[in-house]
Every structure is written in structure tokens, then in C-alpha cells.
Amino acid sequence: MNVLVFAGFGVDQSSLNRTVSAFKSLLYPNYCVQTIHQQPFTSHSWASTCALLILPECCDLLTPSAIATVKAFVENGGTFLFLANGVRSTHFNILDILPGSAKDSPLQIFDKTTRTYVSHGAGEPFDIETWVGSPLYRDGVAAVRCSIGAGKANIWRPYLAYTSQDDISPSTSAPTEGSVTTQERKTLMQAVLKGLGLHLPSKHVQVFTRPLPQFLTSHPSKPFAVSKVMENLAAPSPASDLSVFRDENDCFTFYPLAESAEVFHRCHTGSTIGISDPKHIIVCLLGQLPSPDHTHLFDLHTYYAAVSEERNKNSLVDTLNSWGMGEVVLYGQVVTSTQTMLDK
């Protein structure tokens, strides 16, 4: 599912950048956090794959078409988070943060059943650091969370988002009284997301920021297949001479299976790989298969057994020095989205 951050007319660019960075660090890999611009926002069908719509700080009023799209999304069951904007609600006599009534606001979400408005007002947003210790903290409304129609809305006046850089380079100075640390801000945002029904990644989930080595393998009954592939790639040179292969888009480097542990270690501990950096291919000759520790998400033994079962069931006949569909596999747990595969 997607988490979409509105990037259309009226959105503050600095707030947009911080919001995208913060929510990627909170939600990856469970959700794909990406921006959506004005034209696709108002004209494309994105709601069915959107787990959360985020509206960052706005330096201007939204267009009427954007307002209508937000209202329809929430009232029809969507989940909505509005950051760094004024908050008003007529429900349960919640006090206005800004002067004026909800009916004067340019964006109103209305539940006909409870006759409740939740709206935003034009006004200067402030950071959560400023909010702590202020009169609004003691007496006013900083946020509203409620069910609207079939959906849910959470609208905040303080700016909550932090950047991933805050985690990497925390301030060395001692926090002042009433200040909010990066971890406290992060904890608050996690609570907000859980309250909106999102599933946050486990602390124990390993997230990869670079590609992992790929294994060129064959069915154990076709021990010649990988050698044949290497010969075709190396031609007219001998397969044994092939250590690097370049195509139009990618560069591949080849390693024997015996070096797989060392190659994996380098990929786990090295710096983030660029799109133009070589991709690592571990060559499994003579029908050998990699250790399950390196392919724990995909069992190649079980896969090739299933291929044999289907071939036998359909009475497919093996021919000399050839292999069938699915009997040679290039497998990698993590690859770049722009990589072209060798089997092209």
C-alpha cells in the first residue's frame, strides 16, 4: 500500500521535503511513501491503494478541486493526516485554535451522521518545540483526531515531522527545559500513525539500502546449464575469462560460489551502492545451489523440485544439452529498480 504526500499547489516545499523524509524513515518497508502532484491527485484513481493521505504545511489555500478530492477520500473511508495547520472542530465543544468558526474555513470535512465539522484555518503554523510551554499547550487545542464519515482524520497545528538526518546527527548540546528531543518527536509520530491504523515496521526487521548478490543457478539435473550461459555471455572468449560483463545499462561482476560469504559481507557492510555501480553475480556451476542462509526468502531446492514435478505431470521430455523454462534462475533478494536482467 502507498502513503501519499500531497505535493500540489499551495504546499510549502521545505515542509514537503521534511515530511517525505520523516515518514519514509518511519514506515519503510511496510509502505511506499511517495508524493502525488496536483494533476494526478485530482484526476487519477489512487484512493484504492492509499493507506494514508498526508497534507504537509500549506503556504496558500488549496484549490477547490484538491479540497473536493480530500473531502471525498476521507468521507468515503480514507485516512487523512494534516500537518502544521490550524485545527478546528465543532464536535464536543472543542476549542478553536484560531479565531473564527469552522464554517468559515476553506477545507471542511463533514459527517452527516454526527453533524461534525473538522476543518483547517489559515494561520502561521509553529513547531512542536514552540508549542511546549505555550498557552496553547495548556489551554488550547493542538490536534483533532476523529472519525469522519467512513474515514479517519488527524489534524495537527504543531509541526511534528523530523528528518532522518536528525537521527544521524543529534544535537550535542543539552536539551533545554520544555524542549522536545528527536526521539520524543519520533515516538509521538509513531503513536499518531498507529492511531490511524497503520502497521509500523518491527524493530527487528532488517532493511537493506543496497542490492545484495544474485545467484546464477540451474536445476541440479542440468549441471551444464550455468556453464553454457557463461559461455554465451563470454563469447568469443572462453567462459573462464569472464569476470566483468557490461550491457547497455548495467555492469555485472562474477564470483565463484566459494566466495559468496565474503561477497555478502561486503554488500552488507559497504556504503550505499549507486545505480551505475557493478552488480554482483555468484556463479553456481555443476548444479550447486547456494546456502539457504543467503536465500532465506526463496528456497531454490523446493522450487526446482516443483519444476520437476510439473514437467513430469505434463510429460515434458528433456533433450540433450538443453533446459526448459524455469530450469535456470538468476535470483537476488534485493536488486535496484533500474537493473536489466542477464536473461534479456
Position 132 scores a pLDDT of 43
Residue 264 has pLDDT above 50, yes or no: yes
What are the tens digits of pLDDT across the range 67-88? 888 888 988 899 988 886 554 4
C-alpha cell of residue 173: 548540546
> What is the average per-residue pLDDT within 224-245?
91
What are the tens digits of pLDDT across the range 291-333? 998 998 899 999 999 999 999 999 998 888 899 999 999 999 8
CA separation, residue 342 to residues 236, 303, 320 (Å): 17, 20, 23
Alpha carbons 261 and 272: distance in angstroms, whole number: 19
Contact 250, 279 (CB under 8 A): yes
Residue 275 has pLDDT above 90, yes or no: no
More confident residue, 126 or 50: 50
Residue 276 has pLDDT above 60, yes or no: no
* Residue 62's pLDDT band (cuts 50, 70, 90): confident
Residue 17 has pLDDT above 60, yes or no: yes
> What is the average per-residue pLDDT within 273-287?
80
* Alpha helices in the chain, H assignment, sequence order: 13-27, 38-43, 64-75, 128-131, 135-139, 164-168, 182-195, 225-234, 260-269, 300-313
In sequence order, what are the beta bridge partners of 118? 89, 109
Q: Which secondary structure element, helix H or strand E, spans residue 163, and what is its range? A: none
Q: Which secondary structure element, helix H or strand E, spans residue 210, and what is its range? A: none
3-state secondary structure of 39: helix
Phi, psi of 332 (to 5 degrees): -145, 135
Position 85 scores a pLDDT of 58
More confident residue, 341 or 44: 44
Upper half-sphere CA count for residue 6 (Cβ side, 13 Å): 27
Average pLDDT, the chain: 76
Residue 95 has pLDDT above 50, yes or no: no
Residues ≥6 apart with Cβ < 8 Å to 142: 87, 97, 131, 136, 156, 157, 158
Position 71 scores a pLDDT of 83
Position 161 scores a pLDDT of 64
Q: What would the DSSP string read from start to end of 49-77?
A: GEEEEEE--BSSPPPHHHHHHHHHHHHTT
More confident residue, 269 or 178: 269
> What is the average per-residue pLDDT within 184-203?
85
> What is the average per-residue pLDDT within 147-163?
71
Q: Which secondary structure element, helix H or strand E, spans residue 201, and what is its range? A: none
* Residue 343's pLDDT band (cuts 50, 70, 90): low
Residue 172 has pLDDT above 50, yes or no: no
Q: Domains along the chain?
A: 2-195 (3.40.50), 214-332 (no CATH)
* Residue 150's pLDDT band (cuts 50, 70, 90): confident
Position 47 scores a pLDDT of 92
Q: Exposure of 124 by Cβ count < 10 A (0-12 exposed, 13-18 middle, 19+ buried)?
A: exposed
pTM reported for the whole predicted model: 0.54
Question: Do the bridges between strand 126-127 and strand 143-148 make them parallel or antiparallel, or are there none, so unpaired?
Answer: unpaired
Residue 21 has pLDDT above 80, yes or no: yes
More confident residue, 256 or 276: 256
Position 330 scores a pLDDT of 93
Q: Exposure of 255 by Cβ count < 10 A (0-12 exposed, 13-18 middle, 19+ buried)?
A: middle
* Residue 221's pLDDT band (cuts 50, 70, 90): very high
